[in-house]
Structures are given as structure tokens and as C-alpha cells.
Amino acid sequence: MLFRKITLSDKEKNETPLQPQPVSAEGAPVYILGDTALACFLAVKLITAGHRVIVLAGPKENTSLSTNGITVKEDYQLQKLHSKIETALWLKETPELLIIASRSSRTKAMLTAVSKNKIKNCPVISFTRMKDKNFISDILGVPVISAYFEGWLSDKNQIVTAYGRNPEIILCAETGSAAYQTMEKLLADTRIGLRTNSLPLQAFWNSFAVYAPCSLLSAASGKSIFDITKNKELRKQLQTLLKEIVSITPRVLPPFDADELLKRIFNIPSSYNFPLAEQIRLHQTGDIDFISSVIQEASFQNKCTLPLTGLLLKSIYEQIIERK
């Protein structure tokens, strides 16, 4: 299976970004907590589809989002989308939906901007990578629905690039739930698909089993996944990593197949780079701490040893220490 690289003509690259049509201020807005690539991508897509969106971030981030806006470039669209984004420092009203898409290391602090009294019974959806999201429910006083973005995003200089085609959101909720029906309505004109998985543990590991080994090997080797799959030695290491990850998946789940996971990795767009390497360069440890914590707990529960995974974790932490 080969990677497919999509390129745009000079005319398409220089095309003026489309501005969203003005939207009505009637009705409750969608609030998005965070300023990650996913938070900005969802904000622009929902605004362009005609919804009112308010992003909750820090003072500096809010100023940039509201003044300069965000441009979204998509492989499957010939045009760019651009929007200035309405921002706030705290929840002003009961939202139609609260989306949590903040960095895991900042989520607890950022939740101080969300009033429990204002949330009431609105659906709350969290994309933030965390082992345990129960503390979010405890803070907000409502159930939190886990969600996973099946797509590939990067952000740089106020530009979010969406690689590949047909992004989807996996929502851990029944189709009859308020969260699912609200998301279905909001995404109707965004070209973002919506699927459901009523088993949160399965959805978590389905995402983690690709994200973790790819992040570790690309960060430790300094290579993109595209380059790793073309290198015989690194490809062998990737296959070993996948087998080690499969060995620690919870026994209550249907068994994962390392070969099937490898096929999914071969379908990752060739231009995409996992963010862990850049986080290390910037002295950020959020993703590596999360990955390490999940792996250590799961390997202990399953009484498994993970030689290559442990070696890569050690190498990455050594890089972090050296760069400080």
C-alpha cells in the first residue's frame, strides 16, 4: 500500500481564502475550549457552516484569534477558509454544545473558565487526550462524552492544514442521545463525517494503538511516518512497536491485529508529521507523559514487558532533558 501525495497548482495555492457568510446571533452558541489545531479547525468549519462559535482560550491567544483569525487549508477542497473568531475568557451563557479540545496539560486550568451553573444540561464533548476524563465531569457536574477526530491536522502561523480526505468524528454516544443529535446537526454542512462507538474503551484504544507507536518512533528517529515506512530497519521497528502495543490492550476488548494497524498507518497522508517531535523541541511534555502513563499502566495490568517501547520512551525523555 502506497502513500498518496496531493499537490495544488500555483493558482490554487494563491487563491483568496473564502470568508464565511455573516451568521445570525440568535440561539445559543457553540463554545470550544482550547486553541489547538483541532479547536481552530472545528471553529472555522462550524462558523463557515453558519453557526455561532465562541472560543475560550488565554488572553494572548484570544487576541490573535479575534484579530488575525484562522485560515484552514484542506486537501479535499480547492479553496481556503478564513475566519476571525469570536473569543471569551469565560463562559457567558448556556451553550448549545461545549467542545473541549484543549491540550491535556492545560485542560484542568482552562476549565476554571467554565461555570458549572452556566453549563446546566448542555452536551459536553471532549477530544482531549486523557486516560481518565472523570475529573471533567466532577468539575462541570454533567456527563462528558469522549470523542476522537479521525483526520490529520497541523497548525503553524495561524494556518491549520487538514491532510487527506473525509475526516470523521467518532462520538462515544448512542445515536439517539442529545450529544449525537446536536453534533449531527452542527456538522451537516461541514463535510466532516460523524460515526458512533458506544464503547468508550474500545474507541480510546482504537485511536491510541496507532497514535502512540507512530508518535514514539517518529519523535525518537526524527523521521516522518512516510520516511519510516520506506526505511527497512525503521519499518521493522514500527511492526515490533505495534505488536507490543497490541499485547497491552485490555483483555475485555476484541483483539487488535497488528497487521491491520499497519495498514491504517500506510494510509496516513505522506505530508503529515506527528506533533510529538515538535513538542519536544519546544520543551513540552504533555503528549509523552500521557503516552508513557497509559503504556506503563496497561503493561502492568497485562504483566507484559515492552523492550522497544521502553527504549524509545527513555530516548525521548533524554532528549527532553538535554534540550532544557
Answer yes or no: is 4 within a domain. no
Cell of 185: 446537526
Same-domain status, 169 and 136: yes
CA distance readout (Å), 109 to 57, 68, 133, 309: 11, 25, 14, 31
Question: At 301, which CATH number?
Answer: 1.10.1040.10
CA distance readout (Å), 166 to 3, 252, 320: 16, 30, 35
- From 146, 163, 198, the end of a domain falls on 198
Same-domain status, 209 and 193: no
User: pLDDT value at position 285?
Assistant: 75
Range of the domain at 246: 202-323
Strands 70-74 and 159-171: parallel
- From 198, 216, 232, the end of a domain falls on 198
Same-domain status, 57 and 24: yes
User: pLDDT value at position 26?
Assistant: 62
Question: At 194, which CATH number?
Answer: 3.40.50.720
Q: Contact 15/69 with Cβ under 8 angstroms?
A: no
Beta strands in the chain (DSSP E): 30-33, 53-56, 70-74, 80-83, 86-88, 97-100, 124-126, 145-156, 159-171, 193-196
CA 241, 242, 247, 253 torsion-angle sign:
positive
Specify the amino acid at residue 99: I
Same-domain status, 81 and 223: no
- From 149, 172, 198, the end of a domain falls on 198
Answer yes or no: is 121 within a domain. yes
pTM confidence score: 0.89
Q: Contact 320/288 with Cβ under 8 angstroms?
A: yes
Answer yes or no: is 2 within a domain. no
Answer yes or no: is 5 within a domain. no
Q: How many separate domains does the chain show?
A: 2
Same-domain status, 177 and 313: no
| Closest residue by Cα to residue 275 from 133, 155, 172, 163 | 155
User: pLDDT value at position 316?
Assistant: 93
Query: Which residue(s) pair with 126 in the sheet?
Result: 100, 146
Same-domain status, 22 and 137: yes
pLDDT tens, N- to C-terminus, the chain (324 residues): 444 444 444 444 445 454 544 444 468 999 999 999 999 999 999 999 999 999 999 999 999 999 999 999 998 777 799 999 999 999 999 999 999 999 888 899 999 999 999 998 899 999 999 878 889 999 999 999 999 999 999 999 999 999 988 899 999 999 999 999 999 999 999 999 999 998 999 999 999 999 999 999 999 999 999 999 999 999 999 999 999 999 999 999 999 999 999 999 999 999 999 999 888 888 777 789 999 999 999 999 999 999 999 999 999 999 888 876
